[in-house]
Structure 1
Amino acid sequence: MGTSTILEELENELEILRQNALDAEKNATIQQEERDKLVIVLKNLEKQLRVDKTENHNIQNKIDETQTKLSKIEETLKKNEAELLLFQQKISKIKEKMDKITDDDVQLEFEIQASKQNLESKQKEKNDLEKQTQENDQEISNLKEKIEELRRKENQRKNCRIL
């Protein structure tokens, strides 16, 4: 083997090494570009993550506010339901009283009618008694007149006898 062959082989190996070095450099450049792109993507993702965290925080605050409002609404609703129940109970009691009043009214009306009839009966009885009293007074008056008449006649007879 000659020197030229060894030299050629070394040159070939050197060429292969150069080619490998160029390929490695290209790969390194590609990897650097990909790394740079990934760094940009990572930075964008970090920014988006911060934005998302802020939005999540804002959303959580809104959820908390809404929960607080919901709790207050539920509390108010419970109070309103309790008040409604009280009103319904009061209405029931009022209805019971009204029914009792109605029953009492019917009883009173019955008693009033009975009293009116009794009053009318007593009034008629009074009128009849007054009429009877007038008739009796008239009869007494008539009898007194007759007695007076009879006494006069008796006195006249006595006077006539004496004469």
Structure 2
Amino acid sequence: MNLTLRPCADADIPAIAAIYAHAVLHGTASFELDPPDEAEMMRRRATILEGGYPYIVAEREGEILGYAYAGAYRTRPAYRFTVEDSIYIAPSVQGQGIGRVLLEALIEECEARDFRLMVAVIGDEDSQGSIALHTRLGFELVGILKGIGYKHGRWLSTVLMQRPLAGGTHQPPTSPIA
């Protein structure tokens, strides 16, 4: 596949913003209706990094093909060991396994940071590729929120999946902030 995975840099934001804009305008992975500009994408990335979460890109020959990050599932302190994953792939290379490579790396990065559970909030039941990817990497279906969002002229559901990380939830975290 000849991909390079690396931490996201400031210079990657224009490509990331373009990938995300396509997802917002044409897909259901995001329930946003209007794509944010580059300044907003930079701000969001800074928030992720300041929180101690991973944010990675996949590139080939200098071209950003996709990106993934983990962020807080919820902001209440008891959720601090649970993360939510986000993965976006450039439309021209979807279905080539880049999402799998990014998600595998994201899981590894989160386990190294002592996060214990990863949650996938997948936009719409029709997102079979994303559901299958998460299933292959050990996520299990935990619920579907029916008709929770309205986009592209139709009601969309949200598929919730989860995967244990590191020691999972069968033992306390090893972090000093536990």
User: What interval of TM-score do these two structures reach, taking the shorter chain for normalisation?
Assistant: under 0.3
Structure (1 or 2) with the larger CA radius of gyration: 1
| Bigger proportion of residues as helix | 1
Report 1 or 2 for greater relative contact order, CA contacts < 8 Å, sequence distance ≥ 6.
Answer: 2
How high is the TM-score relative to the length of structure 1? Answer: 0.15
How high is the TM-score relative to the length of structure 2? Answer: 0.14
| Bigger proportion of residues as strand | 2
